[in-house]
Chains A and B, each alone.
Chain A
């Protein structure tokens, strides 16, 4: 044993100044969506003073409501490492069902609206069943569901725009509260709060994060993985239904391709807000950030005098930058 040696632990020279710096950069990158949002608001405000008016802010919150509900809906399946592409199509289809139940079946508007939301919820539930029990691949299953629902909407409306909506039905989309602030965004606030509390404080929420992170370990830990997935799809369907009601109520009309234009933005918003497409990561604050960012870009480009031919491209670049910064964060600071 003569060669056994021991060494004293070397004293470490403090290189901890660097660590503070590292922390700060990490914080900035962590909140990049919000910082980017503030920067854009100030930027657009400098280009066009109308942007910073109360009226425009109210407009932005209304615009963000439907996108926010959809973003929330898309985020839930993403959190369990699945996806639902049929959500915007579900929005259009279910709102048309609700509207027709009122206009053609003569139901009271409130009941008709509930029927619409109920149908949307059922569609979500059905998607969940297909993906878990039949083990269909969610990307393709929900893609086909999207096409089916878009087609069904076209068939229901016969290509026309539905405008026969009751006064009660369109009330929420038009109502204002103190100072002219619209009422509709309150629904989004409530939805964000409820989903946020669900994710943070309930067993269901914890199970969703666990399933998204490691389904096998979750199963061994006693979580019914399939059940959790079905629940997330069902909630997503419900949110899509509510979003459908809100959109129709706000626009006072249901077109034959209602909701389709939201598809990419509804998927981009939660991802920009930090919801991982690999599951298990993300929160409602991030989703809200992503939604507001996209809305500000849209509204801002519309009211600053950017020639319309460039709007799409510039908007795309802005989203690209947000996503790229986020990728850098994940690479170096996760």
Chain B
């Protein structure tokens, strides 16, 4: 049994008027080979006009590769892509954007030294005779950014991960394109942002725009998509035209090819446990914290809107944001200043996972093994020489325990899928064997199956006595994985939830995320 796509395959491009009325985009037998590795194996699918088509699959299944090919960023090894009946398999990004196909890539594409407005208009500058019309650019940008809370003139390098992501999305949404592809656009967006994005999508869909929507969140797929296709190991593994009747569990099963057991931490009180880390009077940019104690083996969630202090405090503890004052003490010992550099933090047993892996998570051109070892080189060295054997053991260990999908640990990180890069980052921070582990959006971009694995790994780690801070706007994730949640507002802890008070509803209400 085949998906509906097979029906029209025998028709040539010339005779394809009938399906092209119905389908704006048709992918036929597209393959992509890297060396000997098939990232895609003759994938065929049809995208119905003015619909929202979900593209699902595990990490490394080939989703980004496929939309990269559709949008002209990469060339297919073989196969054809028809946009309104015209084969566009050879077109490049510029040609595809002119034809009305826009891709918002998985990792934000931002030029740091340009303003937000310029980034927004990148490549679609309003021009007259070769000159950019600055006044129009400014006016358009201001209109587009009106509801986003982003200052058009701000230097894009100073924007946080959420704002960078929003800029890319807005650029596509206002492009006037007829096919807009969103590759994991909601990763790290807050609920109001997401709501706004979905309303916008529905509105454009009614105007005839077609969307391809990639996400690892089942609830989003169920909420917004009209149809889904599932990739598994580069091949089309199935799909559904009628997802209204599906449940989240069924969707997971379709993606994974097996049932999924959702992880739930057994929450308990840590009142009686010894204090592992305690923070006093921390003042830094967007942070003004009185006091916070984290106990041995406890998992604490930080949540709140961007700028409310959750992320900022996490960075200050790690020494990425300079703190103006404040002290940290470990296991009841005398307090000391907060670390002034990540290296000092690592030396004190504090590890941190960034929420923007491409920016400051991975070194893309190094191998998986080199990335995993990067933060723990010091402790595995003899007179400055890296102990190769030990390094290999360490990396192989994390390579397999994290389930990183790649030929071997010598593969270059740039060639990995987004979710697999995230696992590499996680491996790197775990390899430092910290006593305080700070994770900023740890499951961002990780598929449903692996997400449970990651939450399980963190849970097991906490049972060995490691204290964990999880910074997240994913309320479901917090509910499943933490013992206590600190909700941040105005740089301080506004409310702390424990035990059965931690629910999706209470978190959404309090954090306004």
**Residues of A at under 8 Å CB distance from B?**
1-7, 9-10, 12, 15-16, 19, 22-23, 201-204, 206-207, 209-210, 213-214, 216-224, 280-281
A contact residues around B88 at 8 Å (CB)? none
Find B36's partner among A19, A206, A219, A281 (CB 8 Å cutoff).
A19
Q: A7 near B386 (CB under 8 angstroms)? A: no
B320 is contacted by which of A206, A213, A220 (Cβ under 8 Å)? A220
Contacts of B370 in A (CB 8 A): 206, 209-210
From residue A180, how far is it (CB to closest CB) to chain B in Å? 37
Q: Which of B232, B245, B377, B428 contacts A206 (CB 8 A)?
A: B377
**Could you tell me the distance in whole angstroms from the C-beta of B365 to the nearest C-beta in chain A?**
5
Asked whether A7 lies within 8 Å of B240 as measured between CB atoms, the reply is no
Contacts of B366 in A (CB 8 A): 209-210, 213, 280
A210 CA to B386 CA, complexed, in Å: 15
Task: Tell me how far the C-beta of A312 lies from the nearest C-beta in chain B, rounded to whole angstroms.
Answer: 35
Name the contact of B363 in the complex, choosing from A2, A12, A218, A224 (C-beta under 8 A). Answer: A218
B342 touches A5 (CB 8 A): no
- Known contacts A201-B386, A203-B384, A281-B365; A3 and B360 CB within 8 A of each other: no
Contact at B364–A220, with CB atoms within 8 Å?
A: no
Known contacts A7-B237, A203-B381, A219-B342, A280 near B360 by CB under 8 Å = no
Tell whether, in the assembled complex, residue A5 and residue B359 are in contact, meaning their CB atoms are under 8 Å apart.
Answer: no
Knowing A219-B342, A223-B343, say if A202 contacts B384 (CB, 8 Å). yes
CB contact between A4 and one of B238, B362, B374, B375 (< 8 Å): that residue? B238
B246 at the interface (CB under 8 A from A): yes
Residues of chain B touching chain A, judged by Cβ–Cβ distance below 8 Å, are 1-4, 33, 35-36, 38, 41-42, 232-233, 235-242, 245-246, 250, 254, 320, 341-343, 345-346, 352, 354, 359-366, 370, 373-375, 377-378, 381, 384-386, 388, 428, 432
Which among A2, A5, A219 is the interface contact of B1 at CB below 8 angstroms?
A5
B374 CB contact (under 8 Å) in A6, A10, A15, A223: A223
A208 to chain B, nearest CB (A): 11
Tell whether, in the assembled complex, residue B352 and residue A220 are in contact, meaning their CB atoms are under 8 Å apart.
yes
With A9-B235, A220-B352 in contact, is A213–B365 under 8 Å at CB? Answer: yes
User: A-B pairs with CB below 8 Å: how many?
Assistant: 125
Q: Which 10 A-B pairs have the closest CB atoms?
A: A216-B360, A6-B238, A222-B343, A220-B360, A213-B363, A222-B346, A3-B241, A214-B363, A9-B235, A4-B240
Query: Is A2 a contact partner of B386 (Cβ separation < 8 A)?
Result: no
- Say yes or no: B2 contacts A5, CB within 8 Å: yes
B365 neighbours in A (Cβ, 8 Å): 213, 280-281
Instruction: Give B236's nearest chain A residue, CB to CB.
Output: A7
Provide 16 A-B residue pairs closer than 8 Å at the C-beta atoms, listed in order of the A residue: A1-B246, A4-B239, A5-B3, A5-B238, A6-B1, A16-B36, A203-B378, A206-B373, A209-B366, A213-B365, A214-B364, A216-B360, A219-B320, A221-B363, A222-B346, A222-B375
Residue of B nearest to A210 (CB): B363
Query: Which residue on B lies nearest to A224, using beta carbons?
Result: B343
- Nearest chain B residue, comparing its CB with the CB of A11: B41
* A7-B238 in contact (CB<8A): yes
Q: Chain B residue with minimal CB distance to A201?
A: B385
**A residues near B1, Cβ cutoff 8 Å:** 5-7
Tell me whether B386 and A202 are in contact (CB under 8 A): yes
Other than the given A5-B240, A201-B385, A221-B342, 12 more pairs (CB < 8 A) read A5-B3, A5-B238, A5-B239, A7-B3, A22-B35, A206-B373, A213-B366, A217-B361, A221-B363, A222-B341, A280-B366, A281-B365
Cβ of B384 to closest chain A Cβ, rounded Å: 5
Q: How far is the CA of A4 from the CA of B254 in the complex (A)?
A: 9
Minimum C-beta distance from A267 to chain B (A): 22
Least CB distance, A16 to chain B, in whole angstroms: 6
